[in-house]
Amino acid sequence: MKKIFFIIFLFFISAQFLFAQAPTQAEIDKMMKDANALMKKYGGDTMVNKALKDAGEQQKQIAGATKNSPNKPGVSSYTDPGAYGNVDNWKFPSKNTTLLASIPKKVFTETELVNFLNDLFNQLSKKFTPGVATSVQKIAAKYKNDGDKMGDAAVTGWYSNYQEEALLLMIKASANNPDNGLLLNNCAALLNMAGIEQKAIPILKYVLQSFPNNSMLLNNMGQAYAGLGELDTAMVYLGRCMRIEPEHPEACGTAGFIEESRGHTEKAVEYFEKSIKSGYSKTVDLKLRKLKKGRRIANLVRPRIKLPEYFNQFKYDLPSQCISTNDAVRSDAEHNAFRKMIALQGQKYGAMYGELAQKQMQKGMEIMNAGGVGRKLNKYEFIANPFYEQCQIMAGEVLDEYKKELSEFHNKTLKVFTSDMAAVEKEYQRKHQEMMGAFALRCPSGEGASHANCATDEEICAAKDELANTYLPKFAYLTEEMQKKGKLIYNTYFDELVYWHYLSLNPVSKDNFRMQYYAFIMKYMEMMGGICQTKIIKPCEFKSATLTKESNSIKEYDCPIDVELGIGIGKIQLNCEKFSIRAGEGVIFEFEKDFKTKKSTLSVGIGVKFELGIKAGPVKAMVGVKAAESVFITFDGNNGISDVGLENEVKTTGHITGVIKESVGIGSKFGINSGWDFNEGPLKGILK
């Protein structure tokens, strides 16, 4: 991870050097003050500490390096982002035919590359401050010519005001490790940043032989040619880069300046907008606002999270608590069905997680077998979103808070809940024993004992139910409070966890983000399955039931109320489960109240509905036609909106109770929270 961090850091700076805006002294002082404050806050994290320390110097070094640079875009004394007077002065250098002619025409062999790098090392050693080359030799000896360590030290040195030593150290590291593509790329990037582009190009050409479709290399090559004023060749390489990564920030930014210099304003704006989407640049922003008056970048910069699969945590409503012995059958079935559903969902996401884990393991084995070098670079591997380091810190801190809340829930909340439930259970059992003891005293045993005062089975059952119904609400209250606290953790952190991990892991590693995303979902499913519980006290007569998708309601007893009235183009229905009224032709109105779930649904739409029914004792006959499209709103038990969506259906029905039943239809229903439910009709699969 450390090496990848350095590559990312260097990669993002290499091309932006062309457009770097020199900060004022006040800005530098503020940056240094902010960096020191952050270092104190995150002093325990070595990598973050060093990154923040280097960041304060970054703009300072770039400002110093650009003082004597050619007139490249961004090299200006302009400091006010609110005025655009100097934007038009940003121009590419004239085509440097002399330096371009000095670039070797052929692609080097490995031996020729090593000789080229050693020769370059000697040339620069003579130009630089005396003693620099000797210092570099000592550093190389200290690291025993380890290319990775020397490369990391070179990057650190570049941003710590040791640019001559850093450049020589990187060249020496590359000469000693000509098979390390990443090291060679970084060497070329430093040469670009140093304004020695003609020496970077032969190195990049050599690496491109092995990695012709790597966007990082192609971008650096394009930037090198742009720095020499060879804009046509620069666009060739930048174009190849953007075909692989259409919104590459540096490639798009430079391409935009090239197109703008050619008078192609619309094309320039297109490139600038793509650049801003992936990485903010002040110069790109200013030029974009200059070319397109009133242009706002919020919609370009705002993160766009693309989740692997849509997951709505709020649609997993826990079954209602058992608060009466009359609820026992329903509650038992609902809780069993919910836990089964949660288990299946957990297995589904677990399988996807496992598939990605296997893929990552195979990838790791391939890297190990290749020795970690010389392998093909993935186009996403060394690319980070804007504010990458900040996103990593935020992801880590939110994850820590989330884990702390989970730990407190398991170690404190659940322990208190278990203790409270045990106390109520103990009190209930004591009352139950006292009650049963009183019944026993009324019915003495032994020869000659009178049973006249013995309680009947019905009386005992009624007393048991009454006692249970006194304590079940207490159990339900304790359970609901525990469930609320558990769900609150996920309601608070789930979206934020996904947000920050997306920004820190995507597109650096899309598979790692997906694995983390599935891990959060599995943890949520585990919690929901664990807290899906209720205290059930069974009545004297208890017949277990199974809740299925096709049967979402369970009748414990025959309902004494069953009223259904057909009224021409409408129908009114009332029983123990629900009340509903439907009416209309042309404009259709429906309202339904479910007494069990406490939910109400209001639906208004267009179409035709015709239902006519008659009931005589146990026999009921109905016929109906429905062709409608409607908007529905579902209200929960507290009259809050729980779902909104669209429904369309074409259906014919006809049945007589106990004789015949027919229903043919096709339609679909889409709700924001309930998801998509599609009935494909009876002809599904007839045509392959």
Q: Is the pLDDT of residue 37 over 60?
A: no
pLDDT grade, residue 90 (50/70/90)? confident
- Token look-up 């920050």 returns 500
> Percentage of residues in the chain with pLDDT exceeding 90?
36
> Percentage of residues in the chain with pLDDT exceeding 70?
63
630 forms beta bridges with 605, 647
Q: How many CB atoms lie within 10 A of CB 270?
A: 15
pTM: 0.44
Distance CA 231, CA 257 (A): 10
The whole-number average pLDDT for the span 419-437 is 95
pLDDT at residue number 9: 31
Q: How far is CA 520 from CA 34, 169, 514, 524, in A?
A: 33, 44, 10, 6
Task: Return the CATH number of the domain spanning residue range 2-22+67-301.
Answer: 1.25.40.10
The whole-number average pLDDT for the span 402-413 is 93
- Domain residue ranges of the chain, discontinuous segments joined by +: 2-22+67-301, 325-531, 562-679
Helix/strand/coil for 625: strand
Average pLDDT, the chain: 74
Determine the residue type at 74: G
pLDDT at residue number 389: 67
φ/ψ (deg, to 5) at 34: -65, -40
Q: Going by DSSP bridges, is the β-strand pair 619-635/600-616 parallel, antiparallel, or unpaired? A: antiparallel
Task: For residue 321, give the nearest of 331, 309, 330, 311 by alpha carbon.
Answer: 331
**What is residue 447's DSSP assignment?**
T
Helix/strand/coil for 634: strand
φ/ψ (deg, to 5) at 97: -65, -30
pLDDT at residue number 546: 66
Distance CA 505, CA 511 (A): 9
pLDDT at residue number 115: 95
pLDDT greater at residue 326 or residue 297: 326
Distance CA 630, CA 217 (A): 55
Model confidence pLDDT, tens digit, residues 173-224: 999 999 999 899 999 999 988 889 999 999 999 999 999 999 999 999 999 9
pLDDT grade, residue 618 (50/70/90)? very low
Residue pair 242/248 in contact by the 8 Å Cβ criterion: yes
Query: In 506-540, where does DSSP find H-type helix?
Result: 510-531
Helix/strand/coil for 664: strand
Task: For residue 81, give the nearest of 343, 254, 263, 284 by alpha carbon.
Answer: 284
Q: Is the pLDDT of residue 252 over 80?
A: yes
Helix/strand/coil for 137: helix
Distance CA 86, CA 104 (A): 37
pLDDT grade, residue 403 (50/70/90)? very high
pLDDT at residue number 549: 42
Distance CA 136, CA 162 (A): 11
Task: For residue 504, give the nearest of 516, 489, 522, 520 by alpha carbon.
Answer: 516
pLDDT greater at residue 92 or residue 609: 92
Model confidence pLDDT, tens digit, residues 467-521: 999 999 999 999 999 999 999 998 889 888 888 888 777 655 678 888 888 999 9
pLDDT at residue number 404: 93
DSSP for 379-429 reads TTTT---TTHHHHHHHHHHHHHHHHHHHHHIIIIIHHHHHHHHHHHHHHHH
Query: Nearest 5°: CA angle at 262, between 260 and 263?
Result: 65
DSSP for 563-595 reads EEEE-SSEEEEEESSEEEEEEEEEEEEEEEEET
Distance CA 549, CA 559 (A): 22
DSSP for 347-377 reads HHHHHHHHHHHHHHHHHHHHHHHTTTSSPPP
pLDDT at residue number 564: 66
Distance CA 59, CA 65 (A): 10
Q: Is the pLDDT of residue 348 over 60?
A: yes
pLDDT at residue number 619: 43
φ/ψ (deg, to 5) at 43: -60, -20
pLDDT grade, residue 4 (50/70/90)? very low
Calculate the CA 455 to chain-centre distance. Answer: 63
Length of the chain: 688
pLDDT grade, residue 104 (50/70/90)? very high
pLDDT at residue number 575: 65
Task: For residue 441, give the nearest of 291, 450, 527 by alpha carbon.
Answer: 450
Q: Is the pLDDT of residue 110 over 90?
A: yes
Helix/strand/coil for 189: helix
Q: Which of 224-228, 570-574, 660-664 has the highest mean pLDDT?
A: 224-228
Distance CA 381, CA 403 (A): 28
pLDDT at residue number 1: 30
663 forms beta bridges with 653
Distance CA 435, CA 416 (A): 29
pLDDT grade, residue 114 (50/70/90)? very high
Q: Is the pLDDT of residue 38 over 80?
A: no
Q: Going by DSSP bridges, is the β-strand pair 562-566/641-656 parallel, antiparallel, or unpaired? A: unpaired
Determine the residue type at 600: S
pLDDT at residue number 332: 92
Helix/strand/coil for 309: coil
pLDDT greater at residue 25 or residue 595: 595
Residue 446 corresponds to which tokens in the numbers above? 């032994």
pLDDT grade, residue 596 (50/70/90)? low
- Give the CB-side neighbour count of residue 547, counting CA atoms within 13 A: 19
- Is the backbone peptide bond immediately before 507 cis, with ω within 30 degrees of 0? yes
Distance CA 63, CA 526 (A): 53
Q: How many CB atoms lie within 10 A of CB 315?
A: 13
Distance CA 129, CA 155 (A): 19
pLDDT grade, residue 680 (50/70/90)? very low
Please give the torsion angle defined by the CA atoms of residues 188, 69, 22 and 282, in that order, rounded to the nearest 10 degrees.
-60
pLDDT at residue number 391: 77
pLDDT grade, residue 14 (50/70/90)? very low
pLDDT at residue number 507: 56
Distance CA 120, CA 386 (A): 34
Among 99-113, 372-386, 583-597, 603-617, the range scoring the smallest mean pLDDT is: 372-386
Report how far apart the first and last C-alpha atoms of the chain are (Å, whole number).
50
Task: For residue 626, give the nearest of 659, 575, 591, 584 by alpha carbon.
Answer: 584
Distance CA 90, CA 75 (A): 7
Distance CA 271, CA 191 (A): 26
pLDDT at residue number 29: 55
DSSP for 55-76 reads HHHHHHHHHHHHTTS-S-TT-S
Helix/strand/coil for 550: coil
Model confidence pLDDT, tens digit, residues 256-296: 999 999 999 999 999 999 998 887 788 888 888 888 887 77
Model confidence pLDDT, tens digit, residues 551-583: 333 333 344 455 666 655 567 776 656 667 777
The whole-number average pLDDT for the span 629-647 is 66
564 forms beta bridges with 573
